[in-house]
Amino acid sequence: MLGIKDVPNNVLGFIEPAAKAHRLLVETYNEAALSERTCREWFQKFKNGDFDVEDNGRSGRSKIYEDAELKELLEKDSSQTQQELALTLDVSKQSRIA
């Protein structure tokens, strides 16, 4: 199985837009796939010659998610783990849910 560091080369190989690449990643990795937003951001980075995909530190406030987003995800599938929810919401351990 491919690791996260293998994804850039595979994503870059797609000629189709980021949205189609994202759908293919979801088919392969299911809920562990990158978010579509992250996929689009990576496509832009790769286009600019930046192939660093490490999770770099961020400055400023952490993202805050409303209860509605979390509630909607849990209504779709109440068996999701915290890690799965965090991946879907694209949040880190430092982020908090309002």
Please report, in tens digits, the pLDDT of each residue of the chain (98 residues total). 556 566 655 555 544 578 888 888 899 888 888 888 888 888 888 888 887 777 666 666 655 656 778 888 888 888 888 888 888 877 765 554 44
Q: Is the pTM of this model over 0.85?
A: no
Among candidate residues 91, 64, 85, the one with its CA nearest the CA of residue 73: 85
What is the DSSP secondary structure assignment for residue 48, as one 8-state letter?
T
For residues 19 and 26, the answer to whether their CB atoms sit within 8 Å is no
Q: Which CATH number fits domain 4-47: 3.40.50, 3.30.420, 1.20.140, 1.10.10?
A: 1.10.10
For 22, which DSSP code? H
Break the chain into its structural domains and give their ranges: 4-47, 64-97
Task: State how far the alpha carbon of 19 is from the alpha carbons of 14, 22, 41, 43, 90, in Å.
Answer: 11, 5, 11, 10, 17
Strand-pairing partners, residue 97, are 65
